[in-house]
Structure 1
Amino acid sequence: MPEGPEIRRAADKIEKQLRGKTLDDVWFAFPELAKQASSLIGIQVNAVDTWGKAMLIRFADQRVLYSHNQLYGVWKLHSEDKPPSTKRSLRVRLTAEGRAASLYSASDVSLWHENALDSHPFLARLGPDLLSQQVTSGDVQKRLHDPQFRRRSLGALLLDQRLVAGLGNYLRTEILFFSKLHPKMRPVDLTSVQLSLLADSIIDITHRAYRQAGVTNLDAWIEQAIAAKEPRRQWRFSAFERAGLSCHRCGSIIERMMVGSRRLYLCPCCQLLSP
């Protein structure tokens, strides 16, 4: 499933194509939305942003198109007269000035009034979005101290969208690696220095992945990995996907483990489980 940085980058592309433009044509596959399609024609697209792994296309009449890609959804941009060649099922198409944004394969799509978004069953449960909202390290530290989070293992907690929205499997591994923390540790176990580093890493690694199209590794380590002929799926990360390879920091062998039924990678030397 795409994580927050990937959805934010997709939103940026759609915003660049549609923002400020008036819709000439709108098509929805879902019957409950199809009857509203014509009411969006002639309406301007004001903005496209994200909340975690959900995308929000905001219209000038204060309606908002919510979509969640889940496992298989994907947005494609194209000329109005040249739709993509794909076997995927078209769910949404928004067209303006000869260009279109089409959503394929996603099933979680709905239209909301902006004032009602707080009652959305998914959005209402989310923590703050690190890429579309102003979130500081202090904000994240306060959330880590919250009673509902402070005694949970970091390996599970970092996938809980109520903490902060948009984190996923590769970000979890990378955040813990750069924080030098074992996934079984809990916020309550951490020193103030460790807690600060974790909060900084949650923000910094997410923004790095967004800026660098999913690359979270450091430049010097990338050079080493490329020189060692590692494929991109490995050199783009500091630890994720690197089981059996040397830790960039200490030279120990990166290990793979399962946490919450999902794979996680760590350095057994750099990320010791403190007593």
Structure 2
Amino acid sequence: MPEGHSVHRIARQFDRNVVGRRVSASSPQGRFVEGAAIIDGRTAASVRAVGKQMFLEFEDDLWLRVHLGMYGAWDFAGEILVDPTIASANGRMGQTNQRGTDLDPDEPILDDAGENSLSSIGAPRRARVHVRMSEQTTGLSGDEDSWPPPVVGQVRLRLLTDITAADLRGPTACELQTPDEVDATIAKLGPDPLVDDVAEGEERFTAVVRRKPTSIGLLLMDQSVVSGIGNVYRAELLFRAQQNPHTPGRDVPEELVREIWRDWVRLLAIGVETGQMMTMDDVDPEAYRRAMGSRDDRHWVYHRAGLPCRICDTAIVVEEVATRKLYWCPHCQA
């Protein structure tokens, strides 16, 4: 499932490439025909991300709410403007492992999991849409005479400006909302460090966790407790805190709960900046490049079932908890 950093990056893509432009909307798949017809011809006014959900505002107080869920992704094509505020994994400005990004040709960093991609952000998949050449996207592959790009596969919603196409595939939710409905949706979500006041978010998060009998491992995945954390960040945050995932929230020391929140603030910022869920600290430049290229070198415990813990050599355990896989070290997190 795409986690919070991906959704914030998607929102930034929309802010640079769609907001302020008139949008043509269609539902090639046929499952959002009425909604697309309402959006069609309107100008996108603003965009915001909260946790794992994105809200795209159109003129006349109309909002599009998208929750990617387990399998959703946005595919971008056309003249894609890169956000200069986001650094690439090799330290240069721009985005990493993205077709059209101006990376060092001698030392590219390519992510083997498809986790960070300008052309497809969300659930990892191979981008299948054509991309036009442009000044902002030098080096893109594709037919510059083919515009708009052909629809490939099951596209729930296509948003098309004069220069950019955004195709939505496989979302859990894609619906139109009024401003009041948007406010009600957001009110149900826990704090997001990139949206809410960080200090106030810490207080909200700490207060909820400290009164719950539910395990801390489940609480971190509860979007009403804290927004944006998914399976990867859950496992990594708990390992970094040396916290047993099965401990009831109310039994976790208050200072440790606060430190988990502060760590989430740090890791989310790194994820948005680099496009990768990089959770290992103090690595040398070569190890950092390996980590940016492969998640196998990026995490402490996630996806490492049966492999030795990087700290104590104990085999990492994987359990199924509430239908999701939980990775943890039974020694370091005892």
Q: TM-score, normalised by structure 2?
A: 0.69
2:162 partner letter: E
Q: Which residue does 1:10 correspond to in 2?
A: 10
Structure 1: gaps of 5 or more residues: none
3-state SS, counterpart of residue 93 of structure 1: strand
Deviation at residue 33 of structure 1 after TM alignment: 1.4
Q: Which residue does 1:32 correspond to in 2?
A: 34
Q: Work out the CA distance in 2 between the residues paired with 1:126 and 1:34.
A: 26
Q: Work out the CA distance in 1 between the residues paired with 2:151 and 2:13.
A: 20
More strand by share: 1
Q: Which residue does 2:149 correspond to in 1?
A: 83
Are the equivalent residues in 1 in contact too, given 2:267–2:277 (CA < 8 A)?
no
Structure 2: gaps of 5 or more residues: 79-145
**Residues 59 and 199 from structure 1, CA distance in 2 versus in 1: closer, same or farther, beyond 3 angstroms?**
same
1:111 partner letter: L
Between the aligned residues of both structures, percent identity stands at 27
Are the equivalent residues in 1 in contact too, given 2:193–2:201 (CA < 8 A)?
no
Q: TM-score, normalised by structure 1?
A: 0.82
Q: Work out the CA distance in 1 between the residues paired with 2:58 and 2:287.
A: 45
Deviation at residue 99 of structure 1 after TM alignment: 1.9
2:190 partner letter: G
3-state SS, counterpart of residue 236 of structure 2: helix
Deviation at residue 236 of structure 1 after TM alignment: 1.6
Aligned residues: 264
Q: Which residue does 2:168 correspond to in 1?
A: 103
Q: CA RMSD in A?
A: 3.0
Q: Which residue does 1:172 correspond to in 2?
A: 234
Q: Which residue does 2:54 correspond to in 1?
A: 55
When structure 1 is superposed on structure 2, of 25-34 and 7-16 the one drifting more is 25-34
Equivalent of 1:114 in 155, 175, 179: 179
Q: Which residue does 1:134 correspond to in 2?
A: 196
Q: Work out the CA distance in 2 between the residues paired with 1:147 and 1:228.
A: 35
2:56 partner letter: I
Pairing 1:188–2:250 present? yes
Deviation at residue 57 of structure 1 after TM alignment: 0.8
Are the equivalent residues in 2 in contact too, given 1:144–1:187 (CA < 8 A)?
no
Deviation at residue 183 of structure 1 after TM alignment: 0.4
2:34 partner letter: E
Are the equivalent residues in 1 in contact too, given 2:191–2:204 (CA < 8 A)?
no
Are the equivalent residues in 2 in contact too, given 1:222–1:236 (CA < 8 A)?
no
**Residues 127 and 227 from structure 1, CA distance in 2 versus in 1: closer, same or farther, beyond 3 angstroms?**
closer
Equivalent of 2:299 in 237, 242, 247: 237
3-state SS, counterpart of residue 175 of structure 1: helix
**Residues 110 and 145 from structure 1, CA distance in 2 versus in 1: closer, same or farther, beyond 3 angstroms?**
same
Q: Work out the CA distance in 2 between the residues paired with 1:110 and 1:212.
A: 29
3-state SS, counterpart of residue 83 of structure 1: coil
The C-alpha deviation readout for 1:125-158, integer Å capped at 9, x for no partner, is 3222333x13425533433323895322111111
Deviation at residue 249 of structure 1 after TM alignment: 3.3
Are the equivalent residues in 2 in contact too, given 1:137–1:203 (CA < 8 A)?
no
1:234 partner letter: D
Q: Work out the CA distance in 2 between the residues paired with 1:254 and 1:223.
A: 26
Are the equivalent residues in 2 in contact too, given 1:174–1:205 (CA < 8 A)?
no
